[in-house]
Amino acid sequence: MKRPASRAKNGLAPRHIWALGGLTVLSVVVAASCDSQGSRQGYEPAQPIAYSHALHAGERQIDCQYCHFGAETSRHAGVLPASVCMNCHNQVLKDSPEVKKIAQAVDSGKPIEWVKVHRLADFVYFNHSRHVTAGVTCQTCHGPVETMVRVRQVETMSMGWCLNCHRNPSAQVPGGDALSPPSDCAACHQ
């Protein structure tokens, strides 16, 4: 005959107490990591090369996906290799100090180490291609980048901010009333 599991005074078996303790610790760790991520709203770091989105995306009307070539087909938007910059800059402003930095990167074979502006917590799964193919514009999440000399994070990029759009896409996306993005946990926390 099996011996009944011992019970603590509260009626829980020791393994249940360990499980509850583990869940409590996990909750604290997740809450702390959410808190430490914080909102980077307004974050506007200096970049290794003074690249003006206002000039390139705004005045010159270069499509976002020319530089961020993976946005339509990949989870990551990507950043173009410096050699693509030189398609124009081997003729245009080739003597400017910033273009010389690009040429030096190409000659050395080392990529330019851009500073990431928009960062989500590590436990969030985000796929650019799903959003781009659904018709979400870059500006919906990244703000009016085409007006920025130096890119800054405009939105909070918080879970609540994302859920507001998922729950009411027609308020953010033209034709969004035809969309039905998921709002369950597993959609972003895979």
pLDDT band at 9 (very low <50, low <70, confident <90, very high): low
Alpha carbons 26 and 22: distance in angstroms, whole number = 6
Of 16, 180, 36, 22, residue with least CA distance to 119: 36
pLDDT band at 180 (very low <50, low <70, confident <90, very high): very high
Residues 119, 43: contact at Cβ < 8 Å? no
pLDDT digits (tens, 9 = 90+) for 140-155: 999 999 999 999 999 9
- Say whether pLDDT at 26 is over 80: no
Count of CA atoms in the C-beta half-sphere (13 A) of 2: 3
- For 46-60, 79-93, 129-143, 164-178, which range has the lowest pLDDT when averaged over its residues? 164-178
Q: What is the reported pLDDT for 98?
A: 97
pLDDT band at 32 (very low <50, low <70, confident <90, very high): very low
What percent of the chain clears pLDDT 90, i.e. is strictly above it?
74
Give mean pLDDT, residues 51-70. 96
Count of all residues that appear for the chain in the document: 190
52: exposed, middle or buried (Cβ count in 10 Å: 0-12, 13-18, 19+): middle
pLDDT band at 29 (very low <50, low <70, confident <90, very high): very low
